[in-house]
DNA sequence: AACTGCATTGACCGATTCGGACAGAAGGAG
DNA sequence: CTCCTTCTGTCCGAATCGGTCAATGCAGTT
C-alpha cells in the first residue's frame, strides 16, 4: 500500500474503502473487478493501482481494516458489569446489530471473506480468521450469574437459540426487501427474551424488572 | 430441449441434472460455466449442447424439474390428519430436511434461483417463483387445534422461531464442516419443541405424550 | 466388408472481461 | 514558464465463456 493513501481526505478514503467492501462483499474475489471498484469510488482505475500496488494488497488492506474495526467495537468493557444473562444478551445484540446497520457492506465483506475457501487469497486469510473468532467468546459471559438457570437448562443452548432466531428474523426481512430491519429486530428481541426466560430461569427469578 | 434427453438411461440423465444443480447451485448464472457442468457430468460440452440448445434452456429445464419434485414432495396429504401443532411442525421438518439431505445440490440450486435478481434469466423466473411459494403455507395448518395455545402467544410466531432455530443450527454445522447434520438436527428438534411448548401451551396440555 | 445413421467428442472461434501498465493530462507551487 | 505530484483513460496479453462443427466411434443392416 502507498502511504499517501492515509493522507487522503477522509471522505475520499472512505469512499474507496466502502467501494471495496461493497464490490468484494457482493462478488467473489476473482469476479470483484477493480474496474467496478474504481467506478463506485468515483476514481480512475489508475489511481486505485497508484495507492494499492495490486488487487490482492487492496483486498488484504480491507480485511485488516475491518478486523480492527470489529475488534474495537466488540471489546468495549461494559459487558463486564452486566451480571444477568439475558441483559447481557440484549446488550451484545444491540451492539452487534448497530454495527451491522452502520456498515452493511463491511459485514458483507467479512461474511464473504469468512467463507472464501480455495481462492487465491485464502492462504493469507486462514490464519487471521481463526484467531479473530476465538478471542471473543471466552471472556464475554464470565461475570454472568448462571445460578438463575434451571438445572436442566444449558445457558449456551439458550444463547444459540436466541442468536439463530435473531439472525433468521433479519435474514427473512432482508430477503423480502423490508426496511428498518434493525429497529424491528430489537423490538422483537425483548419478546424472545421474555419467552426464553420463562423456560430457562428458576421461578424465583422470573419477576425481575425487564425495563 | 432435445426430446432424446428423456430417453437416456436414468443414471446418465441424473448425472447431467445433478451436475447442473451443483454448478448452478454454487455459482451465479453467468459464472456457472457449461464447461464445468459437462466435466462434472462426465460428458463433452458438445453433448450438453446437443441435448439443450443453449445454457438458458438447460437452466430453465432444471428449474421446472426441481419445482415439480418439490411440489410432489410437499403436497402429500398426511399433514391433514395431524391436529397437534408441534407434532405437525416436527412432521414437516422431518420431510423438509429429508429432502435436503437427499438433494443437497438441488436445494442449493433452488435457493440461488430464489435470490437471483437482475440476472439474465430472472425475467422468466419471477413469475414462477411467486406462485410456488404462496401455494403451500395456506393449507398446511388448517386442521390444527390452536385452542391449546395460551391467549397471549401467537402460534405463527412460535413456528417462525422454530424454523429459524433449525435453519441456524443447520447453517452453523455446515459452516463448520460437520457431518450427519440432518440426523443431529432432528435429535435437537424434540428438545426445542419441548422448550417452546412450555411457553406456548396452556398448562393442561403440557403433559401430553411426546413419544 | 462396406455402408448408414446417429450419439459423442474436443478443438476451435469470436466476444467479453480482467489485472495491470503506462503515457500523459491536470493542476498547484514557485 | 518549470517542476512535481496526483490522477486519468487507453491499451494489452491472458483467461474465460457460450456455442459451433468437422471428425470420430460404433451399432445395426445388407
Residue A43: predicted pLDDT:
96
Show Cβ contacts of residue A178 under 8 Å, excluding neighbours closer than 6 positions: A184
Average pLDDT over residues A23-44: 93
- Contact yes or no for A120/A171 (Cβ under 8 A): no
- Contact yes or no for B189/B142 (Cβ under 8 A): no
Mean pLDDT of chain B: 84
Residue B8: predicted pLDDT:
93
B5 vs B167 pLDDT, higher one: B5
> What value does the CA radius of gyration of chain B take, rounded to a whole number of Å?
20
Which of B47-56, B88-97, B101-110 shows the highest mean pLDDT? B47-56
Average pLDDT over residues A84-112: 85
- Separation in Å: D8 C1' and A44 CA: 6
Q: For residue A149, is pLDDT > 60?
A: yes
CA–CA gap between residue A113 and residue A117 (Å, rounded):
9
Least confident range of A146-155, B79-88, B104-113, B130-139: B130-139
Predicted structure pTM score: 0.78
Q: Please report where in the chains the cell 461475570 appears, as a residue.
A: A143
Q: For residue B159, is pLDDT > 80?
A: yes
* Cβ of B98 less than 7 A from strand C: no
- Contact yes or no for B125/B113 (Cβ under 8 A): yes
Q: For residue B144, is pLDDT > 60?
A: yes
Dihedral of alpha carbons A20, A23, A26, A29, sign: negative
Distance separating the N- and C-terminal Cα atoms of chain A: 49
- Contact yes or no for B184/B171 (Cβ under 8 A): no
Chain A CB contacts of B164 under 8 Å are 164-165, 167-169, 172
Average pLDDT over residues B154-182: 86
B5 vs B117 pLDDT, higher one: B5
For the segment B101-116, what is each residue's pLDDT rounded down to a tens digit? 777 789 889 888 877 6
CA B56 to chain centre: 22
Q: For residue B11, is pLDDT > 70?
A: yes
pLDDT confidence tier of residue B211, bands split at 50, 70 and 90: very low
Cα within 13 Å of Cα(A154), Cβ side = 6
Q: Which nucleotide is nearest to B32 (CA to C1')?
A: D17
User: Which nucleotides along chain C are within 7 A of a protein C-beta?
Assistant: 7-11, 17-23
CA–CA gap between residue A61 and residue B137 (Å, rounded):
46
Which of A35-44, A77-86, B131-140, B179-188 shows the highest mean pLDDT? A35-44
Residues β-bridged to residue A201: A149
Summary count for chain B: helices (H), strands (E): 10, 0
Residue B173: predicted pLDDT:
85
pLDDT confidence tier of residue A196, bands split at 50, 70 and 90: very high
Q: For residue A131, is pLDDT > 80?
A: no
pLDDT confidence tier of residue A193, bands split at 50, 70 and 90: very high
Average pLDDT over residues A122-140: 54
Residue B12: predicted pLDDT:
95
Residue A133: predicted pLDDT:
46
Residue A136: predicted pLDDT:
55
What does the DSSP 8-state code read for residue A201? B
The total of other beta-carbon atoms located within 10 Å of residue A46's CB is 8
Residues β-bridged to residue B149: B201
Show Cβ contacts of residue A75 under 8 Å, excluding neighbours closer than 6 positions: A136
CA–CA gap between residue A168 and residue A174 (Å, rounded):
10
CA–CA gap between residue A18 and residue A20 (Å, rounded):
5
A174 vs B40 pLDDT, higher one: B40
CA–CA gap between residue A86 and residue B178 (Å, rounded):
29
- Separation in Å: C23 C1' and A112 CA: 37
Helix, strand, or coil (residue B149): strand
Chain-chain contact of A195 with B199 (C-beta, under 8 angstroms): yes
Chain-chain contact of B164 with A164 (C-beta, under 8 angstroms): yes
Amino acid at each position: 500500500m502507498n502511504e499517501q493513501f492515509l493522507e487522503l481526505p477522509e471522505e475520499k478514503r472512505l469512499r474507496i474503502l466502502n467501494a471495496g467492501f461493497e464490490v468484494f462483499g457482493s462478488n467473489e474475489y476473482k469476479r470483484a473487478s477493480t474496474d467496478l471498484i474504481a467506478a463506485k469510488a468515483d476514481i480512475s482505475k489508475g489511481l486505485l493501482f497508484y495507492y494499492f500496488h495490486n488487487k490482492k494488497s487492496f483486498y488484504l488492506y480491507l480485511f485488516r481494516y475491518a478486523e480492527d474495526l470489529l475488534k474495537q467495537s466488540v471489546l468495549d468493557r461494559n459487558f463486564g458489569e452486566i451480571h444477568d444473562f439475558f441483559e447481557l444478551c440484549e446488550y451484545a445484540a444491540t451492539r452487534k446489530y448497530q454495527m451491522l446497520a452502520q456498515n452493511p457492506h463491511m459485514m458483507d465483506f467479512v461474511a464473504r471473506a469468512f467463507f472464501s475457501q480455495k481462492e487465491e487469497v485464502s492462504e493469507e486469510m486462514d490464519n487471521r480468521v481463526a484467531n479473530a473468532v476465538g478471542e471473543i467468546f471466552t471472556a464475554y459471559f464470565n461475570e454472568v450469574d448462571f445460578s438463575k438457570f434451571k438445572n436442566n437448562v444449558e445457558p449456551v443452548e439458550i444463547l444459540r437459540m436466541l442468536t439463530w432466531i435473531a439472525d433468521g428474523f433479519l435474514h427473512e426481512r432482508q430477503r423480502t426487501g423490508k426496511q428498518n430491519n434493525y429497529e424491528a429486530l430489537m423490538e422483537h428481541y425483548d419478546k424472545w427474551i421474555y419467552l426464553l426466560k420463562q423456560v430457562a430461569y428458576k421461578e424465583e427469578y422470573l419477576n425481575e424488572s425487564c425495563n
